[in-house]
Structure 1
Amino acid sequence: MAQLKVLICGGGIAGNALAFWLSKLGHDITVIERFPSLRATGLQVDLRGHGIEVMRRMGLEPGFRAKSVEEQGLEVVDNSGRQRAYFPANKTGKGLQSFSTDFEIMRGDLCRLIYDATKDRVKYVFGTYIESFEENNSSVKVQFSDGKSGQFDLLVGADGQGSRTRKMTFGPDTMETFHSLGVYIGYFTIPREILQGEEYKLTSYIAPGGRLMFTRRHNPHEIQIYLASTTGSERLKNSQKGNIKEEKEAMAEIFQGAGWQTEHILQSLEDSNDFYCERLGLVKLESWSQGRVVLLGDAAYCPSATTGMGTTSSLVGAYILAGEISKHCGRPRAAGGDEGHATKDGLSTALKVYNQKFRPFMDQVQKGLAKGSTVWDWIPSTPLGIAFFNFLLGVAAFLRLNVFGKWIIREDVRGWTLPDYKEMVQGQK
């Protein structure tokens, strides 16, 4: 089998994870990222279920543990800051995780961990994106933003929920694939020195009017802030994505007078230099590939932060895609593969089976999620409703019920087993 030449568009967790596996198998991999450097930013992410196993098969657990955030649990507080419920992380290594997992890490640290494991055998090109591409029976010809061009056996779109690759592949007239959940979340960090005896935990506060605030500590000097609004505002809805000044001001208007630590948080919001506003939603497609172009991660099946499965889905999806390519296309002879094991025509089969094998996983993760039918829609918006809701959470915490792991987070993918790929094991070096 000749070496496959693969272009991955998007240097985030999904794209880099696929680069990890395919380069291990001996293929020629290029990753392009429109950001001028490795985008090692973003707030806290976690791994669950099969995502933990994939990370272990990558041999990254020691590095992951060295960078992990030792979050101890989730507490719910009222307007005065009084704790109303507490749900500890599951540190036993058995059963479902809770809201906080035993595998918490900053997004940038995980991204860099995978990048460092691949940079010596993968070509990374930053500050570049795809202007256009043309596909024929034997390759994909790509025109880049820097004026260069190249030909590849496979083009992978791993460029996020707003994927340009997806739009170029399926066309502007394709049925809308992004399904909004009607929730807006602003993320940023603020300086705050840790106090003596303070724990690493996530603190949540529900304010009237469909507003939620979360704080969580990831180091002794900073905390993360999450501002979530289930109603938004006309100003926020109409703001251009990425217009940080407008998004900040709209968020400040929404959260004005929300109580608890709002005043200090909004003062810090104005000066923050890492603010990001996310419109929560799902990406759903009937097929994740067309010809020699395939989508991966949020570009193909974004499950939203609502499920707690975004990072896990990216890692598992990359593993399945690489595994099917290894199974149906073989390994290059230079990497120890058998001559004639497969031809590049095997790509078509590999992409088809990737869709068939991983779709039952994603169908369970995304099942029933739509605007008006998510956990965000259960949250009360009146002071009386919030008080009763907090009381119920307190009872659940007292009874040690894992309400998040069992009924909210989509970790429990029943009847689905992570495949073993002997070609991938043989490709480990």
Structure 2
Amino acid sequence: MTSLKVLICGGGCAGPALAYWLANSGHQVTIVERFPALRASGAQIDLRAQAIEAVRRMGLLEAVRSKTVDEIGVSFVDSQNNVKGTILANKSGKGAQSLTSEYEIMRGDLVRIFYDATKDNVNYIFGKSVDRFEQDEKEVVVHFSDGSTDKFDLLVGADGQGSRIRKAILPPGSPDLYWRIGVLIAYWFVPRIETDNNIGSAYHSPGGRAIFRRSHNPTESQVYLMLHNHSEDLWSIPKAPIEQQKEFWTQRFRDAGWQARRFLEGLKTADTFYCEEALQVRTDTWHKGRVVLVGDAGYCPSPFSGLGTTVGLVGAYVLAGEINRNVNDLPQAFATYDKTLRPFVEKAQEVNRTFVQWYLPQTRWGVALFHLVIGILCFLRIPDLVSRFSKEDAHGWKLPDYPELSTGRDQKPMESAKV
């Protein structure tokens, strides 16, 4: 089988997952990451459904399990910290994951797991990015930020929802590919206190506001703020200077109640702060010539889907499988990748804006109704029953089998690509 020289732009989760499969199959893989070092940071993420199986096939599920966060469920609380309902994680080994997955893990830990599994046979280059590229039927010529140039058989954009690689391959006049949900999200870490336990807390306040607290280690807790507001003026907030972003969240949540004051006090000195708009990337263009997208760069489903990491890891697995199956015909590989994965992505992106409005109420009556419904559902154990008797595979989509993929580290080198 032909060996390809592959450049992956982006060293988060989906990029290194793809690199794992390709390098272990004998391809020459380079990952270029614009940050000066491994970006092993970020909030709590999870593996669900098909991603659990994909990571199992990588042989890394036990490594993930060893780093999972000890969170056993999520409680919905009022301003006095009275619990209105609790949804526990489904750890029965049967059915689907609940709000808390069996495989909750900090993003940084997952990034390090993928890095450790690939660093010996993948070339990582930090502090460098792709400025531009040209391609023809035989190769992609890539120009880097340091002025250097190199040639590759394949360029992969794994550079997130604001992907520059995606922008370069979109047809002229393409419609806006961002599907906006009308929600801003911010998170940071604060010192953990005695009452922060291994059950996450979710608090809702009028004005389309919500606060979440999760505790991932003995000394720190995570704070997540959500704001539901369709004003276009808010879309620019994540691009503002950090201090301006912090001031925005402070002003919007200073009267939210519950533990808002504690969390906003911690925000003043937090160096883990991050703010983003919850949106989806919806485009018909996942590939062009010898350039292809994977993960959030091609099909970010938004945090409200609960499948962000899952879709990225599944996408990496399917793309690697199709490349190996059609190694001498990349256009066919990319077309089949699109045809195979798109039904799963489209299902994962089915987020109902009406549900978001109900989940982030604007009025006190809306919050009271939300708590009433949650209380009844939890009292009747409906969430637990739904998880246990739902299909393990999200949306009934079966993860394909690719015998062409190998996880063996002692593979013989493949024949060099003829370009």
TM-score, scaled to structure 1: 0.91
Do the aligned partners of 2:90 and 2:384 also contact (CA within 8 Å) in 1?
Answer: no
Task: State the percentage of identical aligned residues.
Answer: 46
Distance in 2, matches of 1:83 and 1:426, equals: 46
Aligned-partner SS, 2:143: strand
Q: CA deviation at 1:327?
A: 1.1
Please give the per-residue CA displacement for 1:188-237, whole angstroms capped at 9, x wherever unaligned.
Answer: 00112445xx6312100000111000000000100000010002777644
Partner of 2:272: 274
Partner of 1:249: 247
Do the aligned partners of 1:396 and 1:403 also contact (CA within 8 Å) in 2?
Answer: no
Alignment of 1:344-355 (within 5 A): 346-355=329-338
Partner of 1:186: 186
- Confirm or deny that 1:120 pairs with 2:120: yes
Partner of 2:291: 293
Residue 213 (structure 1) aligned to one of 193, 211, 214 = 211
Q: CA deviation at 1:377?
A: 4.5
Distance in 1, matches of 2:278 and 2:172, equals: 21
Partner of 1:94: 94
- Confirm or deny that 1:421 pairs with 2:402: yes
Please give the per-residue CA displacement for 1:355-406, whole angstroms capped at 9, x wherever unaligned.
Answer: 0000111111112x36x43434543222222122101101100111118967
**Structure 2 CA distance for partners of 1:146 and 1:66, relative to 1, 3 Å:** same
Distance in 1, matches of 2:362 and 2:235, equals: 20
Residue 363 (structure 2) aligned to one of 382, 398, 417 = 382
Do the aligned partners of 1:12 and 1:39 also contact (CA within 8 Å) in 2?
Answer: yes
Partner of 1:400: 381
Please give the per-residue CA displacement for 1:76-107, whole angstroms capped at 9, x wherever unaligned.
Answer: 00011111100110011111111001000000
Aligned-partner SS, 1:113: helix
Do the aligned partners of 2:141 and 2:149 also contact (CA within 8 Å) in 1?
Answer: yes
Please give the per-residue CA displacement for 1:253-292, whole angstroms capped at 9, x wherever unaligned.
Answer: 1112110011111111111101000101010111311111
Greater RCO (Cα-Cα under 8 Å, separation 6 or more): 2
**Structure 2 CA distance for partners of 1:31 and 1:226, relative to 1, 3 Å:** same
User: Residue type of the partner of 1:304?
Assistant: S
The runs of 5 or more residues in structure 1 that have no matched partner are 330-342
Partner of 1:261: 259
Please give the per-residue CA displacement for 1:317-337, whole angstroms capped at 9, x wherever unaligned.
Answer: 0000000111111xxxxxxxx
Alignment of 1:5-404 (within 5 A): 5-170=5-170, 173-194=173-194, 199-231=197-229, 236-239=234-237, 241=239, 243-329=241-327, 343=328, 346-367=329-350, 369=351, 372-402=353-383
**Structure 2 CA distance for partners of 1:426 and 1:282, relative to 1, 3 Å:** closer
Distance in 2, matches of 1:205 and 1:426, equals: 44
User: Residue type of the partner of 1:207?
Assistant: S
Partner of 1:340: none
Aligned-partner SS, 2:400: coil
Q: CA deviation at 1:54?
A: 0.5
**Structure 2 CA distance for partners of 1:377 and 1:393, relative to 1, 3 Å:** closer
**Structure 2 CA distance for partners of 1:310 and 1:137, relative to 1, 3 Å:** same
Do the aligned partners of 1:8 and 1:157 also contact (CA within 8 Å) in 2?
Answer: yes
Distance in 1, matches of 2:151 and 2:123, equals: 15
Do the aligned partners of 2:188 and 2:274 also contact (CA within 8 Å) in 1?
Answer: yes
Do the aligned partners of 1:405 and 1:411 also contact (CA within 8 Å) in 2?
Answer: no
Q: CA deviation at 1:295?
A: 0.4
Distance in 2, matches of 1:400 and 1:117, equals: 40
Do the aligned partners of 2:170 and 2:285 also contact (CA within 8 Å) in 1?
Answer: no
User: Residue type of the partner of 1:45?
Assistant: I
User: Residue type of the partner of 2:216?
Assistant: H
Do the aligned partners of 1:97 and 1:405 also contact (CA within 8 Å) in 2?
Answer: no
Distance in 2, matches of 1:348 and 1:109, equals: 35
Q: Which deviates more from structure 2 when the two are superposed, residues 231-240 or residues 385-394?
A: 231-240
Partner of 1:335: none
Distance in 2, matches of 1:121 and 1:151, equals: 19
Please give the root-mean-square deviation of Cα atoms over the aligned residues, in Å: 2.0
Aligned-partner SS, 1:414: helix
The runs of 5 or more residues in structure 2 that have no matched partner are 411-419
Aligned-partner SS, 2:111: helix
User: Residue type of the partner of 1:389?
Assistant: F
Distance in 2, matches of 1:212 and 1:394, equals: 17
Distance in 2, matches of 1:131 and 1:116, equals: 27
Please give the per-residue CA displacement for 1:136-193, whole angstroms capped at 9, x wherever unaligned.
Answer: 1100000000111110111000000011111112156322111111100101001124
